[in-house]
Chain A
Amino acid sequence: MKNNSRRKFISNIVGGGLGLGALPLFSFNSETRGFSPADSEMPVINEVDICVLGGSCTGVFAAVRASRLGAKVAIVEKQNAFGGVATNSMVNIWHSLLNTEFNKQIIAGMTVEVIERLSYRRAILRSEKSASAGVTFNSQELKIELDELVLESGIKPYLHTLFSEPLLDQDGNLVGVIVDNKSGRGIIKARYFIDATGDGDLCYRSGVKSYVSELLQPPTTCAYFDGWNNEQFNSLLKEHWKEFNIPEGFVWGAKVPNTNSYMLAGTRIYNVNCSIADDLTKAEMEGRRQIRAISDMLRKYGKDLKVGLVGLPSSIGIRETRHIKCLYQISDNDALYGKRFDDAIANGSYRLDIHHQDKPGLTFKYLDGTEIYSRPGFPEEKKRWREEIPVNPTFYQIPLRSIIPQKFDNLMLAGRMLDASIIAFSGIRVMVNMNQLGEAAGVTSYLALNQNKPIAKVNDKEVRNELAKGGSLII
């Protein structure tokens, strides 16, 4: 573990505003590892306290929280940049940090910290009180913000690096991960592991039990467009979607702050499970085909629109793949009725939105008992999913137990693979909620390390306490 005055340093930087000239120097050593087919011993390339797999905001927030408390942390990311769906998939909305009544803040922590930092770069637009958006951000600026967070916190980054396999000792303990990158395969040893891979790759390959919900929410390839006009697009879509083989679905989008580009989330790829390699390749290519179909439709029928394609994601936006069996599964009713947990480590108010695999459109279920079926180009259908009750819940919670799998003492997860039933997951899955899971995983791993304990034995009161001390809202 490290002993440094990092906090002081961080607050200097965070307070800095524009013109940050001097980021900390790199501490990389540029040793080259030799390679020959005969080379069968794999080198140990690092030994750390906590190794985080997957560098989405969830993963980075886990790493930062653990590192701020004093752990030595490494983070492994397959892409060239941190941020996951928020950056590499271009999804640039974080939902409301308030409860459903907009009268109480329920989310803070690093989500708020990053929003503040981004606002120094004019990379944030704050929305009106809305069930569909809290802030819109510039995802490219977020990539750079996360680089800075990782470097400031003294976390060792491994970009362009694939997690390959778990490394178990002779007694079956998880002692390291095998990674693969430009320098070849190597081992990162660690005492604790946070699986933030989205698909739960480490858990899965370590033989932890997993399951796939019956209807997987479909993935979406987003795109940046210049000259976008949503209204015209929707009317063209309704008329011509068949000609261009554009699946009916749900279309949303948002302006990219500080630019004239529009982020369109207008594709969906059905019947794929993106934790399977072939499905992932297929989804990427089919997603881009749909973007081209949309562009071709606009070129043919909306000539005065002058729409130009500015950006495509470097990783398709995946909503859901497998879930990992944990100490507790969040049930549909836990979420729908806003159940309070003693070990709650996250709060959420995003509506439950069921992306159907079997029909176009979405069904939104709200905590006040109402629901709306929404299909582009058709009137909304409103009704109730339950009878009125005297007091409606205004947020739901996620218990720590739903991110702790059982098989290993030193492994926990953070992200969409949490143990949650199908409808509960449809609301919990959004980024402002996942961000909190990352922070909780980072703090929990740190406490386990500090107290030399299995993760499941860490006292959840202490986790909640430490989360609150570090800026999280704990209710």
Chain B
Amino acid sequence: MKNHSRRKFVNSIVGGSFGIGALPLFSFSPKAEENILGRRELPVINEVDICVLGGSCTGVFAAVRASRLGAHVAIVEKQNAFGGVATNGLVNIWHSLYNTEANKQIIAGLTAEVIERLSKRDAVIFSDESKRGYFTLNTQELKIELDELVLTYGITPYLHTLFSEPYLDGEGKLTGIIIDNKSGRGIIKAKYFIDATGDGDLCFRLGLKSYVHDFLQPPTTCAYIEGFDEEKFNSLLKKYGKEFNIPEGYVWGAKVPSTNSYMLAGTRIYGVNCATADNLTQTEIEGRRQIRAILDMIRKYDDKIKAGLVGLPSYVGIRETRHFDCLYQVSDDDALYGKNFDDAIANGSYVFDLHHQDKPGITFRWLDGTERYSRPGYPDVKGRWRKEMDVNPTYYQVPLRSLIPKKTDNLIVAGRMLDASMISFSGVRVMVNMNQLGEAAGVTSYLALDQNKKITDVSSKDVRKELAKGGSIIM
């Protein structure tokens, strides 16, 4: 563990706004060309307290929270930039930080901190009709913001680096991970591990029990398009979608702050599980085919639109793959009825949105008991999924236990692979919720390290207290 006055240093940077000239210097040491052929022993390239796998906001927030408390942290990311779905997947909306009644803030922590930082770069638009509004982000700026966070807090970044395999000692204890990158395979040793890979790659390769829901929410290839007209697009889609082999689905989008680009989430790839390599390749290519189909349709039938393709993701936007058996599974009723947990570490109010694999459109379910089936180009079908009650819940919670896999001592998950049933997951899955899981995983790992304990033995009260001290809203 480190002993330094990082907080003070951090405050001076965070408060700085424009013209931050002096980011902390890199501490990389240049290595000479060294040939690895025939080398059987893998080199240990780092030894840290906590190793985070996966550098989405969830992973970065985990790393930052642990590091702020004093842990020595490394973070491993396969892409060239942090931020995951928000940046590399181009998904630029963070949902409301308030409860469903818009009268109580339920989410803060690093999510709020990053929104504040981004607003100094004109990189946030708040849809301010009510506090229920959502945040539209310029996620290219977010990439840079996350770089700064990682560097500011002294986290060692490994970009363009693939997690390959767990590294076990003679007794089968997880003591490191094998990674692979431009310098070849190597080992990062750590005392605790946070699996924020989205697909739970570390857990899976350790042989931990996982499951896949009957209906996986389909992935989406987003795109930045200039000159996009959503209304015209929807009517073209209804008329000509078949000619261009564009699957029926659900289309949403958002302007990218400070630009003329529109982020369109208008594709969906059915029948794939992106945790398998072949499916992932298929999905990337099929997602781009659909983007081209959309543009070809516009070019052919409404040339006045002049839609131009500005950006494609560097990783398809994956909603769901496998989940892991943890100490507790969040059930559909837990979420739908807003159950309160003693060990709650996250709160959410995003609507449950079932992305069907078997039919077009989406079904939304709300905590007030109503539901709506929505299909582009058709009228909404409204109904109730339960009878009226005296008092409706206004948010749901995620318990710490749903992140702690069974039969492990020094491993915790953070992200969409949490233990959650199908409908509960459809709401819990969104980024403002996942961000909180990251923060909780970071704090929990730090406490285990500090108290020299198994992760399962860390008191959830301590976790909640430390989360609140660091800026999270704990209820």
Beyond A18-B300, A285-B159, A300-B19, whether A310 also contacts B278 by CB under 8 A is: no
- Residue B170 lies at the interface, judged by CB distance under 8 Å to chain A: no
Contact with A along B1-35 (1 / 0, CB 8 A): 00000000000000000111111001011110101
A144: which B residues are within 8 A, CB to CB? Answer: 288-289, 291-292
User: How many residues on the A side are at the interface (Cβ–Cβ under 8 A)?
Assistant: 101
- Partner of B281 from the list A28, A261, A316 (CB cut-off 8 Å) is A28
When the two chains form their complex, are residues B310 and A310 in contact, meaning their CB atoms are under 8 A apart? Answer: yes
B36: which A residues are within 8 A, CB to CB? Answer: 205
B140: which A residues are within 8 A, CB to CB? Answer: 223, 309-312
- Residue A291 lies at the interface, judged by CB distance under 8 Å to chain B: yes
Contact with B along A204-223 (1 / 0, CB 8 A): 11110010100000000001
| Closest beta carbon of chain B to A152's beta carbon, Å | 12
B306: which A residues are within 8 A, CB to CB? Answer: 258
When the two chains form their complex, are residues B143 and A312 in contact, meaning their CB atoms are under 8 A apart? Answer: yes
When the two chains form their complex, are residues A159 and B30 in contact, meaning their CB atoms are under 8 A apart? Answer: no
B468: which A residues are within 8 A, CB to CB? Answer: none
When the two chains form their complex, are residues A312 and B81 in contact, meaning their CB atoms are under 8 A apart? Answer: yes
Beyond A205-B184, A226-B260, A310-B224, whether A140 also contacts B21 by CB under 8 A is: no
When the two chains form their complex, are residues A36 and B207 in contact, meaning their CB atoms are under 8 A apart? Answer: yes
In angstroms, Cα B311 to Cα A223, docked, is 11
When the two chains form their complex, are residues B259 and A308 in contact, meaning their CB atoms are under 8 A apart? Answer: yes
Binds A, one of B103-111, B229-237, B268-276, B390-398: B268-276
- Residue A275 lies at the interface, judged by CB distance under 8 Å to chain B: yes
- Residue B239 lies at the interface, judged by CB distance under 8 Å to chain A: no
When the two chains form their complex, are residues B295 and A184 in contact, meaning their CB atoms are under 8 A apart? Answer: no
In angstroms, Cα B261 to Cα A285, docked, is 24
In angstroms, Cα B261 to Cα A161, docked, is 30
In angstroms, Cα B142 to Cα A309, docked, is 11
| Closest beta carbon of chain B to A333's beta carbon, Å | 27
When the two chains form their complex, are residues B308 and A138 in contact, meaning their CB atoms are under 8 A apart? Answer: yes
- Residue B80 lies at the interface, judged by CB distance under 8 Å to chain A: yes
- Partner of B315 from the list A19, A80, A161, A316 (CB cut-off 8 Å) is A80
B260: which A residues are within 8 A, CB to CB? Answer: 226, 260, 308
Binds B, one of A276-284, A324-332, A346-354: A276-284
Binds B, one of A58-66, A175-183, A388-396: A175-183
In angstroms, Cα B165 to Cα A35, docked, is 10
When the two chains form their complex, are residues A245 and B33 in contact, meaning their CB atoms are under 8 A apart? Answer: no
When the two chains form their complex, are residues B144 and A291 in contact, meaning their CB atoms are under 8 A apart? Answer: yes
When the two chains form their complex, are residues A159 and B164 in contact, meaning their CB atoms are under 8 A apart? Answer: no
In angstroms, Cα B106 to Cα A371, docked, is 64
When the two chains form their complex, are residues A280 and B166 in contact, meaning their CB atoms are under 8 A apart? Answer: no
A260: which B residues are within 8 A, CB to CB? Answer: 226, 260, 308
- Partner of B79 from the list A256, A311, A314 (CB cut-off 8 Å) is A314
When the two chains form their complex, are residues A282 and B28 in contact, meaning their CB atoms are under 8 A apart? Answer: yes
- Residue B282 lies at the interface, judged by CB distance under 8 Å to chain A: yes
* Chain B residue with the shortest CB-CB distance to A185: B164
In angstroms, Cα B38 to Cα A121, docked, is 49
Q: Which of B298-323 contact A (CB under 8 A)?
A: 299-300, 306, 308-316
- Partner of B147 from the list A204, A210, A289 (CB cut-off 8 Å) is A289
Q: Which of B195-214 contact A (CB under 8 A)?
A: 199, 201, 204-207
| Closest beta carbon of chain B to A157's beta carbon, Å | 6
User: How many residues on the B side are at the interface (Cβ–Cβ under 8 A)?
Assistant: 99
A201: which B residues are within 8 A, CB to CB? Answer: 182
- Residue A406 lies at the interface, judged by CB distance under 8 Å to chain B: no
When the two chains form their complex, are residues B300 and A19 in contact, meaning their CB atoms are under 8 A apart? Answer: yes
- Partner of B224 from the list A122, A258, A311, A315 (CB cut-off 8 Å) is A311
A256: which B residues are within 8 A, CB to CB? Answer: 308, 310
* Chain B residue with the shortest CB-CB distance to A286: B26
A210: which B residues are within 8 A, CB to CB? Answer: 33
When the two chains form their complex, are residues B311 and A140 in contact, meaning their CB atoms are under 8 A apart? Answer: yes
When the two chains form their complex, are residues B312 and A309 in contact, meaning their CB atoms are under 8 A apart? Answer: no
When the two chains form their complex, are residues B245 and A288 in contact, meaning their CB atoms are under 8 A apart? Answer: no
When the two chains form their complex, are residues B81 and A182 in contact, meaning their CB atoms are under 8 A apart? Answer: no
- Partner of B312 from the list A81, A312, A315 (CB cut-off 8 Å) is A81
Contact with A along B177-200 (1 / 0, CB 8 A): 000111111000000000000010
* Chain A residue with the shortest CB-CB distance to B272: A30
When the two chains form their complex, are residues A157 and B244 in contact, meaning their CB atoms are under 8 A apart? Answer: no
When the two chains form their complex, are residues B281 and A309 in contact, meaning their CB atoms are under 8 A apart? Answer: no
- Residue A37 lies at the interface, judged by CB distance under 8 Å to chain B: yes
In angstroms, Cα B23 to Cα A296, docked, is 14
B164: which A residues are within 8 A, CB to CB? Answer: 164, 180, 185
A123: which B residues are within 8 A, CB to CB? Answer: 309
* Chain B residue with the shortest CB-CB distance to A291: B144
Q: Which of B132-174 contact A (CB under 8 A)?
A: 138, 140-141, 143-144, 147, 151, 157-162, 164-166, 168, 172
When the two chains form their complex, are residues B147 and A285 in contact, meaning their CB atoms are under 8 A apart? Answer: yes
In angstroms, Cα B280 to Cα A181, docked, is 10
When the two chains form their complex, are residues B314 and A79 in contact, meaning their CB atoms are under 8 A apart? Answer: yes
In angstroms, Cα B412 to Cα A175, docked, is 40
When the two chains form their complex, are residues A32 and B245 in contact, meaning their CB atoms are under 8 A apart? Answer: no
- Residue A160 lies at the interface, judged by CB distance under 8 Å to chain B: yes
In angstroms, Cα B380 to Cα A390, docked, is 79
- Residue A461 lies at the interface, judged by CB distance under 8 Å to chain B: no
A311: which B residues are within 8 A, CB to CB? Answer: 140, 224, 310-311
Q: Which of B77-92 contact A (CB under 8 A)?
A: 78-81, 88
In angstroms, Cα B282 to Cα A31, docked, is 13
- Residue A402 lies at the interface, judged by CB distance under 8 Å to chain B: no
Beyond A28-B279, A157-B281, A284-B80, whether A121 also contacts B295 by CB under 8 A is: yes
Contact with A along B30-51 (1 / 0, CB 8 A): 1101011110000000000000
| Closest beta carbon of chain B to A175's beta carbon, Å | 15
Beyond A205-B184, A277-B181, A299-B18, whether A37 also contacts B138 by CB under 8 A is: no
When the two chains form their complex, are residues A206 and B276 in contact, meaning their CB atoms are under 8 A apart? Answer: no
Contact with B along A119-156 (1 / 0, CB 8 A): 00111000000000000001011011001000100000
- Residue B285 lies at the interface, judged by CB distance under 8 Å to chain A: yes
When the two chains form their complex, are residues A296 and B18 in contact, meaning their CB atoms are under 8 A apart? Answer: yes
- Partner of A183 from the list B81, B276, B288 (CB cut-off 8 Å) is B276
When the two chains form their complex, are residues A226 and B147 in contact, meaning their CB atoms are under 8 A apart? Answer: no
| Closest beta carbon of chain A to B348's beta carbon, Å | 28
Beyond A295-B121, A312-B140, whether A276 also contacts B30 by CB under 8 A is: yes
In angstroms, Cα B296 to Cα A38, docked, is 49
In angstroms, Cα B311 to Cα A138, docked, is 10
A157: which B residues are within 8 A, CB to CB? Answer: 281, 285
- Residue A224 lies at the interface, judged by CB distance under 8 Å to chain B: yes
- Partner of A300 from the list B18, B180, B184, B279 (CB cut-off 8 Å) is B18
In angstroms, Cα B46 to Cα A192, docked, is 36
In angstroms, Cα B165 to Cα A244, docked, is 41
* Chain B residue with the shortest CB-CB distance to A199: B182
In angstroms, Cα B36 to Cα A81, docked, is 28
When the two chains form their complex, are residues B184 and A37 in contact, meaning their CB atoms are under 8 A apart? Answer: no
A81: which B residues are within 8 A, CB to CB? Answer: 284, 288, 312, 314
* Chain B residue with the shortest CB-CB distance to A273: B30
| Closest beta carbon of chain A to B119's beta carbon, Å | 13
- Residue A313 lies at the interface, judged by CB distance under 8 Å to chain B: yes
Beyond A281-B158, A310-B256, A315-B80, whether A244 also contacts B28 by CB under 8 A is: no
Besides A21-B244, A310-B224, 19 more A-B contacts (Cβ < 8 Å) are A18-B299, A21-B245, A31-B276, A32-B273, A36-B205, A140-B311, A144-B291, A151-B285, A159-B285, A161-B281, A205-B37, A226-B261, A259-B309, A289-B23, A306-B258, A308-B122, A309-B140, A311-B310, A312-B140
Q: List 13 A-B contacts (CB under 8 A).
A: A18-B299, A30-B272, A80-B314, A81-B288, A88-B314, A164-B185, A226-B260, A258-B306, A261-B226, A275-B182, A278-B28, A280-B182, A310-B256
| A residues adjacent to B (C-beta < 8 A) | 18-23, 26, 28-33, 35-37, 78-81, 88, 121-123, 138, 140-141, 143-144, 147, 151, 157-162, 164-166, 180-185, 199, 201, 204-207, 210, 212, 223-224, 226, 243-245, 256-261, 271, 273-282, 284-286, 288-289, 291-293, 295-296, 299-300, 306-316, 322
Leading 8 A-B pairs by shortest Cβ distance: A314-B314, A308-B258, A258-B308, A259-B308, A277-B183, A183-B277, A308-B259, A278-B28
